[in-house]
Amino acid sequence: MKIKREQMYIDGQWVAAAAGATRQIINPANQQIIAEVAEGDRDDARAAIGAARKAFDHGDWPDLPGAERARFVFRLADLIEQNREELAELESLDTGKTVEESRWDMDDIAGIFRYYAGLADKDAGDVIDSPNPNASSRVVREPIGVCGQISPWNYPLLQAAWKLAPALTAGCTVVIKPSEITPLTTLKITELCIEADFPAGVVNTVLGPGASVGAELSENDQVDLISFTGGIETGKKIMRAASGNVKKIALELGGKNPHIIFADADLETALDQVLNGVFFHAGQICSAGTRLMLEASIHDSFVAALKERMANITIGDAFADTTQMGPLISAEHRSKIENYVQIGLDEGALLELGGQRPDGAELQNGFFYQPTLFTGCRSAMRIVQEEAFGPIITVEKFTREDEVIAAANSTIYGLAAGFWTEDGGRIHRLSRALRFGTVWVNDFNFYFTQAPWGGYKQSGFGRELGRMGLEEYTEVKHIYQNYQPEALNWFGC
């Protein structure tokens, strides 16, 4: 099968890339070419920004009552649900994640659009009691304007939905750019936006490399906000690029997320969640709990049980019923993982399991990698500190609560952390002491639409999801009206 999508969507029209370029999209499970898509550049990004600017400055969209805009967003949610299977298949072909995971994603995504559509008419503004008895003060939220939205390859449509749903609900116009290697579901949702009848210029989809299309969205002074999910180094470039017109910026960057197990925990459930926390999507999840911290008294038995379960993980194609873990996204990314395994070995970590490509003739054409376990790790090691973004667990041993808190916080990242214990006092202390945007207690990697998501420290700033995710796309205006103006008679009297 080869899908042809050699166009992008700009100002209500499907158009080829200005320079006529295309790119081949590869299934990471077997390297087969699954699609040929348009490959845009800066000119295409500028055209899309111009269309979004026109739709915001001169179109009806930003001024529609919230309930009217919500109709479009609700329609889109229905269409996502109706096209769930096709979307899930495209996502799995493009990323290699199991089709069951992709189906969850699609249900989640429909729910995200519904959630924001439901908020569209809920903000009645605020009235402030003014210190002047003859005046009134109102605070209203208005759409921020033209939004550039740049998404990564690991959750192509989910990450796009976190951005599109609140931006559209708020009354913004958008230019969305998916990762150049995983554009298929973003193209499909663009088709669904057309079916949902969004006005021309409200949703624009451009494809192409980050260094040109993404950079243009970040730099262009006709863009009011840039929302980015991706790696920390790209995030820094975007911050610099966005400074030209002091754009608003929302950054969801990487993570290196500690998962702490105390001896008094429900160890069987914790073990299961440790596995879920790392091996969904082969560890290519920003909040993956790849940094396991075990209380010394349970270390050996927990590692033994973990090894046993890890050895049973079935690796394979996204569409096989038996598959529990798919491939890595690309040859380049697998080299990065292999390099990190070598770094771990060089640093003296003990390789307990994995550390290589799997056997099996059917796996040789894909970018597969074995679930990998290192013990004997210390906080300062690079294998512990840096985000590999793959199926690698590092294990550190601890004896005291204050020691594990200090170690868990000793990272430039601050996206998510989790811990397991039955001790109520400890739950209270750790929940506050861990400096991460999300802290899970007796659970891991559970997120939902109503709760804000984002990072402390270099994991980024701004929040997606929840009401805060909608507020990101608004400006706050204070309107003060004086009903009985009086002269001050200060100057030149």
Q: Which residues bind ligand NAD (CB under 6 A)?
A: 150-155, 159, 177, 179-180, 209-211, 214-215, 218, 229-231, 234, 237-238, 252-255, 286, 387, 389, 415, 455, 460
**273: left (phi > 0), else alpha (psi -120 to 50), else beta?**
alpha
Catalytic residue among 39, 252, 295, 352: 252
Tell me if residue 475 is catalytic: no
CB of 353 to ligand NAD, least distance (A): 24
Q: In angstroms, rounded to a whole number, what is the distance separating the alpha carbons of residues 137 and 148? A: 32
Nearer to ligand NAD, 173 or 218 (CB): 218
Least distance to ligand NAD, CB of residue 416, Å = 9
Which tokens is 148 given? 């550039």
Cα 289–181–185 angle (5° rounding)?
Answer: 85
- Identify which of residues 209 and 376 has a Cβ nearer to ligand NAD in the complex: 209
Helix axes 424-433, 401-409, angle to 10 degrees: 30
Residue of minimal Cβ distance to ligand NAD: 210
Q: How far is the CB of 460 from ligand NAD (least distance, A)?
A: 6
Distance of CA 392 to the CA centre of its chain: 20
Shortest gap between Cβ of 96 and ligand NAD (angstroms)? 14
362 noted as active-site residue:
no
Nearer to ligand NAD, 41 or 352 (CB): 41
Nearer to ligand NAD, 101 or 401 (CB): 101
CA–CA distance, 43 with 51 (Å, rounded to integer): 12
Asked if 208 and 180 count as a contact pair (C-beta separation under 8 A), the reply is yes
From the CB of 210, what's the least distance to ligand NAD, in Å?
2
Are 3 and 152 in contact by the 8 Å Cβ rule? The answer is no
Strands laid side by side in the 392-398 sheet: 350-353, 372-375, 392-398, 291-295, 258-261, 416-420, 438-441
Q: How far apart are CA 403 and CA 407, in angstroms?
A: 6
Q: Which of 101, 286, 464, 472 is catalytic?
A: 286
Q: Which is nearer to ligand NAD, 253 or 306 (CB)?
A: 253
Q: Which residues form the catalytic set?
A: 252, 286
